Amino acid sequence: VSGATAFAERFYQALANRKPLTTAVSVGQTAMGREGNQWYRPVLYLRWENNDGGRLFGEETTLLFERYVENLVAKLEAEKGVLEYIDLFAETSTSLSSFGPNYQSNLAPGLDNLASSYQSNQIDENNVIASIENIVANHQKFVLIGEPGSGKSTALKHIALSQAKEFLSNKFTAPMPFILELEFWSKDKSFDSFVRQQWQEIQLPNVSLQDYFTKGKVILYLDGLGVILGNSEKRVNRVSQIKKWLHSSQAPQKVIVTCRSDYYEDDDINLRLPTFEIQPMSTDLIRSFVSHKLNDESDHFLKQIFSNGENQDTKNSIQQLASNPYLLYALIIIYQYEPGNKLPQNSGALFSRLVKALWKREREKPNTELLSYSEVETYFADLANYMFRQNSLIVKRETAISILNNDRNLLLAGKNASLLVVQDNTVRFKSRSIQDYFLAVTLNDEDINSILKNLNSILKKPIIFHGKRLREPWDYPIIALSGLVNEPNEIIKYIAEKDPYLAAMCLDSGVKVNDDILEFIVTKLVQTFDIAIKDNIEEIVKGENIGETKKLLAQDYLHRLGIDILPILGKILIDPEKNAFIKCAIIDLLYIYDDNDTRIIHFLSDIVKDPSIEEKAMQLANKQLRYFKTVLIPSIGSGSIVVTVSTSKISEVSQIIQEAWHRVQKYESQYDKLQLRFSAISALGRLKNKEATLPLIDGLIDPNNDVRQACLTSLKSSGWQPETNKEQLYLAIAENRWSDCQGFGELAISPLLSVLDDETEAIQISVITTLGEFGLKAQDAVVPIFNKLFAQNTSIELKKTCIEAICLIPTKIAVIGLLKASLTVSEYLQNLALDKFNNNIDYKQKLAGLSHALEVDFDSIIQPKINPTIGKIFKGDENTKLKIAAIEKLGELGSVDAINILLSTMNQENEKLVIACINALSNHKQLNVISAIVEKLKDDKNSIKKEAIKSLGKLQAEIAVDELVKLLPSQQKKKRFGINIPKISTWFENNLVGDILDALQQIGTPEAQQAIDSWYSQNK
């Protein structure tokens, strides 16, 4: 008694201090001062709450608990290692040698390793917990999720088995495990009633459940939360009962729940408990497991599994199937039973061959007479279909027999072949996956049109809620069906037209389609990124972020399609018909792919290098936003949105639409700032790949400073360091270290020109100044600098910088440009340009430039893109003025070479230029000049004659007297009305007389004076 009293005192004190039950027991045992395994006996007779004669547990109660737990241990150990996929084997005493070595180990190899891949997504998605035991020790209540066949139920049973053994070995001081399989919860009972019913059915003591649960005496294991079927409303109601019960005062202290991952994604089934997900088996674990099972044959098997290499990110391959324990074991069965055959590549084909292999194995047992699988398949399919229609995973035994052709032996064979589970008076399929396969059989047909007809009757438009595609009952059977048909292209396309998410799930199961169908699915999914489609308008009205939830959903399903879609996504990125919503969403998706995959890099590079891709995408995006206005604004007043968007709150439609429109306006203003190029730069930076750095390095000299800085940031974040002079130069430019550019010589010219069009004037000034300092090495910079100088929106300060830089690069074009600047810009800049022309350009440079000015159209050289036909007249006038100015400057030079250029130019057709040349030459009294001007007295154009006459007079050209006199009109008198009238051919010819007489007067020789006197005497 003293020992028991000491135990009780310390035991309950530890519990009061919130110590775990096992710790409290250990503390109490230490207080007793007893060792060995008999310490518990005094405690069993301790008087506790006057219950059952003063014992902790009555003798009958103790025996019942012990019997239940012993039965539970026996049941769990009978499941051959408590691994779900072991259940595939027939439960028979017949040797399994045809399937390989004995699989009846109590704890199959790999479970401990498998537990190490359990992952917490409650606190930190990267926090991997070492073992399932650690999860149990650190969490009172949690949910264990995973893909079908990942080992959820296996893990739960393994935990329960360990707990049961601890309970028995410690004689009831440890909590007792209590397993509830939720598929046996009938729809007409409350959850609390179901728990009590199960407690009674396993013949546990009829005592207060609340007492056992709340004081930590029982650990509850809820297996199969996802099996709760029914429509959404009914399912929500049933799950709500569990939630309420788990958080009530009568709930157990410790609860473990299992559920399929995709089912648990639905908000209405989420229990809001810490959640751990079983990850796919690693390549090392697959190899270890297969080597253990197949021994010498493992290498050949593994070659098929890893035919695409050991990249676990590779999708749509047999490796993805093998990463699932259940499916891996199925592959091993098929491999052993069909030696030499290629392993199935998708889940539908896998289950087809597995079921056939298991049935054939059952038929080959001694003294067994069974129908062939082809004869019985339809019966099992009918059973699956009946259970599906009844919205139940179990049926009564007699009902199952009636569906199975009233053949009890067929039911028994199904059980022995591990297709069915027969328990008491109920029947269910061994796994949901096998049931889904038989449902797929009901949809299949040799005629493709019949299959499409069957699909049409069950396919629905996907329901998207809170960023998730709600699971449909037919999803997995349809996925299995896609793997059963020989040519899945037409079926997959048909599915994708109605539900591209489901089509992606089919491909994720391993089904292969041609490139056209794959691109069709991808295009359907990325179209979800477009916010102006009808579904997304509904999303806005319902208060969702504009397109955001669907974007995340589509990204998830695109990821399921694997890396083969990268070239398709790349094509969409540069497709001029796709808007920025779609393209940015695709770029956001790229982070999930392998950094070493370079197939997307050149598409991203195109976006970074070519601003027109972004510009077009932005235009389309803004067009989509304007589309919202046409849809939403009319709806505000008319309430027509009710037609577009289903809602039960008709009275609130107007207010909802108004609020939605405000969100669209806000989003539009934000979207104007969106930079597709920045997204591409960021994606390239994430790749941390040598090839991905190349476009980023080129981006360091992009005309847009923001782009340069984005590229620089991405490069630095990836740890990039410049390795060549070129990269050093690019880095200097991106960091605006202009003075350092001189040290790179001519290598710097082209990169500097690349950034000349930066929007920041300060950068333009720095670049132009730096280019000028290179002198004639920067000849390629002359035209771009002039484009800045003569642009209408260029500031005076920038124009000044252009003029100062140009005079340091005295090419022919530079000379012409300075001359033009002296004619066209502001007075201050005209004077500056003229000063630079006169004082900074040497004679040879001037002569070459002025001569070149007479040969070219300067405006067409510096601005070839803005010289349309419609502007030729205006451009011609400007060009002529510039040439005249060049002629005048040549005249000012007055050198032999300059005069020769003028003499040559004087022979062209342009009247204005000829006149300018004559005028420029009139300051140079040289024989060849006078002779050339005299020749122009013979020109057909009187304007040229007139200028030549004046110039000859100015030159006092004695040799021109005779030619000038010849130009004087002859005098012929004619009597008319008694008046003598001189006959002059034209008015202009008459006007030349005065110029000729003035020229002769200027010449002043006797011959000239005589000619003057003679003309006057004849014309008195």
Q: Are residues 97 and 210 in the same domain?
A: yes
Calpha distance 102→94 (Å, rounded): 12
Which stretch, 64-78, 151-165, 349-363, has highest mean pLDDT?
349-363
Determine the straight-line distance between the first and last CA of the chain, rounded to whole angstroms.
167
Residue 217 pLDDT exceeds 90? no
892 and 775 in one domain?
yes
Q: Are residues 158 and 296 in the same domain?
A: no
pLDDT of residue 61: 64
Reported as a pLDDT band with limits 50, 70 and 90, residue 820 is very high
- Mean pLDDT of the region 636-663: 48
* 30 vs 521, residue with greater confidence: 521
d(CA 710, CA 721): 16
| Domain edge (last residue) among 646, 667, 687 | 687
Query: Of 507, 156, 148, which Cα lies nearest the Cα of 345?
Result: 507
Question: If you count DSSP H runs as helices and E runs as strands, how many of each does the chain have, helices first?
Answer: 53, 13
Q: What is the mean pLDDT of residues 121-150?
A: 70
Give pLDDT, residue 319.
86
Structural domain count, the chain: 6
Total number of residues shown for the chain? 1020
Are 274 and 331 part of one and the same domain?
Answer: no
pLDDT greater than 80 at residue 550: no
Cβ contacts of 842 within 8 Å, gap of 6 or more: 810
Mean pLDDT of 803-832: 93
**CA-wise closest residue to 587 among 652, 500, 681:** 681
Residue 870 confidence (pLDDT) above 50? no
Q: What is the mean pLDDT of the chain?
A: 81
Residue 207 pLDDT: 62
Residue 915 has pLDDT above 70, yes or no: yes
> In the predicted model, what is the mean pLDDT of residues 873-883?
73
For residues 771-779, give the mean pLDDT.
95
Give phi and psi for 53, each to the nearest 5: 70, 20
Residue 278 is predicted with a pLDDT of 87
What letter would DSSP give residue 877? H
Residue-wise pLDDT tens digits, 829-868: 999 999 999 999 999 999 999 999 999 888 888 764 444 4
Same domain? 948 vs 817: no
Q: What is the DSSP letter of 128?
A: B
| Confidence at 155, pLDDT banded by 50, 70, 90 | confident
Task: Give the span between the Cα atoms of 238 and 235, in whole angstroms.
Answer: 5
Residues 886 and 804 in one domain: yes
Q: Once rounded to an integer, what is the mean pLDDT over residues 49-64?
A: 52
Q: For 294-343, what is each residue's pLDDT tens digit? A: 988 899 999 999 876 655 444 446 888 888 888 998 999 999 888 778 89
Residues 673 and 799 in one domain: no
Of 326, 320, 374, whose CA–CA distance to 351 is shortest?
326
Residue 154 has pLDDT above 60, yes or no: yes
pLDDT range class, residue 211, cuts 50, 70, 90: confident
Q: In this structure, are 261 and 114 located in the same domain?
A: yes
131/176 same-domain check:
yes
Q: Tell me the CATH number at 148.
A: 3.40.50.300
CA distance 81 to 77: 6
**Selected residue with higher pLDDT from 537 and 365:** 365
The DSSP string of 331-362 is HHHHHHHSTTSPPPSSHHHHHHHHHHHHHHHH
Q: Which of 865, 888, 921 is the last residue of a domain?
A: 921
Query: Helices marked H in 574-675 — which ranges?
Result: 580-589, 601-609, 611-638, 641-644, 653-671
Residue 980, φ and ψ in degrees, nearest 5: -85, 120
pLDDT higher than 90, residue 641? no
Residues 381-416 have pLDDT tens digits of 999 999 999 988 999 999 999 999 999 999 999 999
Instruction: Give 243-274 pLDDT, tens digit per residue.
Output: 999 888 888 899 999 998 888 876 667 888 89
Q: Identify the bridge partners of residue 423 per DSSP, sorted by sequence position.
A: 426
Rounded Cα distance between 875 and 878, Å, is 5
In this structure, is residue 708 part of a structural domain?
no
Domain ranges, residue 379: 287-439
User: Which of 241, 262, 279 is the C-terminal boundary of a domain?
Assistant: 279
Per-residue pLDDT, 908: 86
Note the pLDDT of residue 44: 55
CATH number at residue 976: 1.25.10.10
929 is a domain residue: no
- The answer as to whether 209 is a domain residue is yes
Residue 275's nearest CA partner among 130, 403, 129, 77 is 129
Same domain, 767 and 858: yes
Looking at residue 506, its pLDDT comes to 95
Indicate whether 248 and 265 sit together in one domain.
Answer: yes
625 or 631: which carries more pLDDT confidence? 625
- Is 634 or 448 the better-scoring residue by pLDDT? 448
703 part of a folded domain: no
- Per-residue H/E/C for 675-712: CHHHHHHHHHHHHCCHHHHHHHHHHCCCCCHHHHHHHH
User: Which of the pair, 587 or 403, is modelled with greater confidence?
Assistant: 403
Highest mean pLDDT among 106-120, 492-506, 623-637, 976-990: 492-506
The predicted model gives 745-762 an average pLDDT of 94
Specify the pairing of strand 118-120 against strand 275-278: antiparallel
pLDDT at residue 715 tops 60: yes
Q: Determine the Cα–Cα distance for residues 792 and 953; give it in Å rounded to an integer.
A: 44
pLDDT exceeds 80 at position 538: no
Say what the pLDDT of residue 722 is.
95
637 located within any domain: yes
Domain assignment present for residue 47? The answer is: yes
- Asked if residue 343 is part of any domain, the answer here is yes
Domain shared by 864 and 1011, yes or no: no
> What one-character-per-residue DSSP string does 505-559 give?
HHHHTT----HHHHHHHHHHHHGGG-TTSHHHHHHHHTT--TTHHHHHHHHHHHH
Q: What pLDDT is recorded for position 38? A: 53
Q: How many CA atoms lie within 13 A of 296 on its CB side?
A: 0
Strand ranges (E), 99-201 = 118-120, 141-146, 176-181
Residue range 953-964: average pLDDT?
92
- Threshold 0.75, pTM exceeds: no
pLDDT above 70 for 431: yes
Residue 17 has pLDDT above 80, yes or no: no
Cβ neighbours around 382 below 10 Å, total: 16
Of 103 and 709, more confident: 709
Domain membership flag for residue 1001: yes
- pLDDT > 90 in the chain, percent: 46
* Band of residue 720 on the pLDDT scale cut at 50, 70, 90: very high
